[in-house]
Amino acid sequence: MKNLIVYCSSHGTTEKAVGLLSENLVGDVLSVDLKREKTIFDLKDFDTVIIGGSIHAGQIQRKIKKFIQNHYDELLDKELGLFLVCMREGEMAIEQFNNAFPQELRKNSVAMGLFGGEFLVSKMNFFERQVVKKVDGITSDQSKLDIKSIMEFASRFNNLKSLV
């Protein structure tokens, strides 16, 4: 099986999650950070596509939104996984997930995940630090990355492949 993971990582947390996911998926994995990499790929070459990003000011990254818009019909025909890295929990996290990914993609996904998140204040610019301090009262690095959720997500994909 050939897996494609498309994501955006601003401060490295989503990249960490993708690294763990990649290590635990069966088959070949190509991970592409749309924010940094210019890797050229064709969705037709992949059996599964996983899309993920992080929430900043309540929204997923624009490059993820644009990727979904540009490949929407193709994505509906793929074994699809969607994940979100965010610090919110419960209903707020679910709301952010639902706002990040179109309903039809969510309905067609074999796996969806909320992977927790991190505030990496040490990697933020001045403006980001001020917003995080004002909104969340956070002034130092904090991690709530949910390793168990990442492993469960990978397991759902691996179980899917064993059925083929």
Residue 135 has what pLDDT? 74
pLDDT greater than 90 at residue 121: no
pLDDT greater than 90 at residue 21: yes
What is the tens place of the pLDDT at every residue in 45-94? 998 999 999 987 778 999 999 999 999 999 999 999 999 998 888 898 99
In contact, 8 and 33? CB cutoff 8 Å: yes
Residue 164 has what pLDDT? 46
- 115 by Cβ neighbours in 10 Å (0-12 / 13-18 / 19+) ranks as buried
In contact, 45 and 2? CB cutoff 8 Å: yes
Residue 80 has what pLDDT? 95
Mean pLDDT, rounded, of the chain: 88
Lowest mean pLDDT among 43-57, 111-125, 128-142, 144-158: 128-142
What is the tens place of the pLDDT at every residue in 130-144? 777 777 777 777 778
Distance between first and last Cα of the chain: 10
pLDDT greater than 70 at residue 117: yes
- What does pTM read for this prediction? 0.86
Cα–Cα distance measured from residue 152 to residue 147, given in angstroms and rounded to the nearest whole number = 9
